[in-house]
Chain A
């Protein structure tokens, strides 16, 4: 359990974290989303006490991080930046951390096995690939068998197998009743693993919600229907919890609240010819960008052009 109350961090004139207020609950994966520079890493460093808040407070399992007798047993963290000496082997790095807590060597071997580092554990960590470095960071995070796991951009640099491994790991850790707090700037990644969502932009809380609610608010799942008589089809389909949108005179309708199968059946019963029937997955990425669009710190022109959306199917000259 991580409780953040009116957390503020200023660096001179710049406010990196602005009155953040939320709770990360045990038993589920909570995604921490925001564009680059939104203040995710700063917030995580404050949770660990590496950075001191300008004001406000943050507690982990009821106490400030530094006040725990065995901090690595409370929170295991992977920070975004590398936190190892490149000249030391992975094994020796983990062993030195374990010694501070009296964690036995057996546990060091366990987390090395667990993160698939067995073959490279005795090699200098400086020679590790990005993915191996991430695995070493996760091994360090799991070392104290912590109640709360906090990972900053864990899938960065991982190959598809590694990404899948992280997803499984996070889900399992949450199922065991642990608090799992994972940051990302990719909505699509979070939609696959997280249950709860905390979205920030420019240090401010934009949303404290669940993935399910976020999808609903983004428009839910709809079905695109192209038919011969969209006006009559609309009347056939309308009902409680069903919304049908479409421009007058257009053959295309967007229907939510009904499955493609139900729509097709209804159209057939009414004798309306259907030319296209396509379930539309809602673009979470777009909904996320709409929410945080005004807060993006480093916007590129190309990025904003694609946000407004180039006409679909247009052929590049």
Chain B
């Protein structure tokens, strides 16, 4: 009833006295930030990632057994490896978070409202990247530190024990935060590229986890030349960023970061191209 009666109140007589509205990049970022905060699913995914990151790290330290020949302790040569083993799982949760941020808009239809408000389109991608990178780098860095510090008491006095002041430890922990934030951005770019949540997640899993496996069926001489340049953790660029000691044939942390950034930028360029060129 009240709706009928108030059908036009609140609509100023056009066009006199119109407020000055304007779309700016800062405002688009604020809008994306508010979208991020107002969805339960983003909070759940973020919490799951943080839980995996910290929980598995501490559990690894708790269960550490130097004499084990098999199991999670077998190839752990230092406390950082144990603390950051959880990145392998956390990266999936955070990558999915990124995919949902972009592909989720297409599957729900929200993208039409978003692009009607910001028809220049690119600011939307830029704002999403900024928001998700910013949130994930904070959460993942804190998670990596908690994982390391929480496991420290269990490893105290053992040969592999390290402290924050040990050489390279800080670099690894900050590296893990940065790596996970870049994976979230990669997920967002892939999601915008394929515009489907399932497709985006599949592509992410292929890039991060299946490509190293796939390499095994190629001629074995290729593997050392290709593997370090893959984005993922297993022998790839991501592994170089978070490992305390570089294995033979892997890149230096700086080179690994550069390679990973190249992957992310390539995905973002593809995403931007599709965003600008294809009908929504």
Measuring CB to CB, which residues of chain A are less than 8 angstroms from any residue of chain B?
Answer: 45, 48-52, 65-66, 68-73, 77, 79, 81-89, 92-93, 95-97, 99-103, 110-111, 113-116, 135, 140, 142, 144-145, 147, 161-162, 164-165, 168-169, 172-173, 176-178
A115 and B105 alpha carbons, distance in the complex (Å): 24
B222 interfacial by beta-carbon distance below 8 Å? no
Question: Quick one: given A66-B120, A83-B112, A114-B10, are A101 and B23 in contact (CB under 8 Å)?
Answer: yes
Contact with A along B188-232 (1 / 0, CB 8 A): 000000000000000000000000000000000000000000000
Partner of A96, one of B15, B38, B40, B279: B38
Q: Most A CB atoms within 10 A — which of B8, B27, B30?
A: B8
Q: Which residues of B contact A83 (CB under 8 A)?
A: 109-113, 116
Q: Which residues of A contact B14 (CB under 8 A)?
A: 145, 147, 176-178
**Nearest-CB residue, chain A, relative to B110:** A85
Question: Quick one: given A81-B109, A85-B108, A100-B28, are A71 and B35 in contact (CB under 8 Å)?
Answer: no
Tally of B interface residues using CB under 8 Å: 49
Residues B125-153 near A (CB distance < 8 A): none
Q: Which residues of B contact A102 (CB under 8 A)?
A: 21-22, 24, 27
Partner of A116, one of B3, B18, B24, B117: B3
Given contacts A48-B119, A85-B35, A103-B19, 9 further A-B contacts (CB under 8 A): A50-B280, A70-B21, A70-B22, A85-B105, A92-B34, A96-B32, A101-B21, A113-B6, A114-B8
Assess the B18–A145 pair: CB atoms within 8 A. Answer: yes
Smallest beta-carbon distance B38→chain A, Å: 4
Assess the A79–B31 pair: CB atoms within 8 A. Answer: no
**Nearest-CB residue, chain B, relative to A97:** B117
Q: Which residues of B contact A96 (CB under 8 A)?
A: 31-32, 34-35, 38
Number of A-B pairs, beta carbon distance below 8 Å = 153
Assess the B11–A100 pair: CB atoms within 8 A. Answer: no
- A sample of 9 inter-chain contacts (CB < 8 A) reads A48-B116, A89-B38, A96-B34, A102-B21, A102-B22, A115-B3, A145-B19, A161-B3, A168-B4
Partner of A111, one of B10, B32, B34: B10
B51 interfacial by beta-carbon distance below 8 Å? no
Q: Most A CB atoms within 10 A — which of B40, B109, B113, B115?
A: B113
A162 and B115 alpha carbons, distance in the complex (Å): 28
Assess the A173–B8 pair: CB atoms within 8 A. Answer: yes
Q: Which residues of A contact B4 (CB under 8 A)?
A: 161, 164-165, 168
**Nearest-CB residue, chain A, relative to B26:** A102
B159 interfacial by beta-carbon distance below 8 Å? no
Sorted nearest first, the 6 A-B pairs with minimum C-beta distance are A116-B3, A66-B119, A92-B38, A99-B31, A83-B112, A70-B21
Assess the B112–A88 pair: CB atoms within 8 A. Answer: no
Q: Which residues of A contact B7 (CB under 8 A)?
A: 114, 165, 168-169, 172
Assess the B119–A65 pair: CB atoms within 8 A. Answer: yes
B118 interfacial by beta-carbon distance below 8 Å? yes
Smallest beta-carbon distance A41→chain B, Å: 11
Smallest beta-carbon distance B167→chain A, Å: 45
Q: Which residues of A contact B1 (CB under 8 A)?
A: 161
**Nearest-CB residue, chain B, relative to A141:** B116
Q: Which residues of B contact A79 (CB under 8 A)?
A: 112, 116
Smallest beta-carbon distance A80→chain B, Å: 10
Question: Quick one: given A72-B21, A72-B117, are A142 and B11 in contact (CB under 8 Å)?
Answer: yes
Assess the A110–B10 pair: CB atoms within 8 A. Answer: yes
B39 interfacial by beta-carbon distance below 8 Å? yes
A85 and B27 alpha carbons, distance in the complex (Å): 20
Assess the B12–A99 pair: CB atoms within 8 A. Answer: no
A161 and B4 alpha carbons, distance in the complex (Å): 8
**Nearest-CB residue, chain B, relative to A167:** B7
Residues B61-93 near A (CB distance < 8 A): none
Question: Quick one: given A69-B23, A116-B3, are A88 and B31 in contact (CB under 8 Å)?
Answer: no
B9 interfacial by beta-carbon distance below 8 Å? yes
A139 and B133 alpha carbons, distance in the complex (Å): 32
B2 interfacial by beta-carbon distance below 8 Å? yes
Smallest beta-carbon distance B43→chain A, Å: 11
B253 interfacial by beta-carbon distance below 8 Å? no
**Nearest-CB residue, chain A, relative to B10:** A110
A65 and B116 alpha carbons, distance in the complex (Å): 9
A164 and B18 alpha carbons, distance in the complex (Å): 28
Partner of B279, one of A50, A77, A101, A114: A50
Assess the A82–B109 pair: CB atoms within 8 A. Answer: yes
Assess the B108–A69 pair: CB atoms within 8 A. Answer: no
Smallest beta-carbon distance B92→chain A, Å: 21
Assess the B15–A177 pair: CB atoms within 8 A. Answer: yes
B187 interfacial by beta-carbon distance below 8 Å? no
A305 and B30 alpha carbons, distance in the complex (Å): 57
Assess the A100–B27 pair: CB atoms within 8 A. Answer: yes
Assess the B41–A87 pair: CB atoms within 8 A. Answer: yes
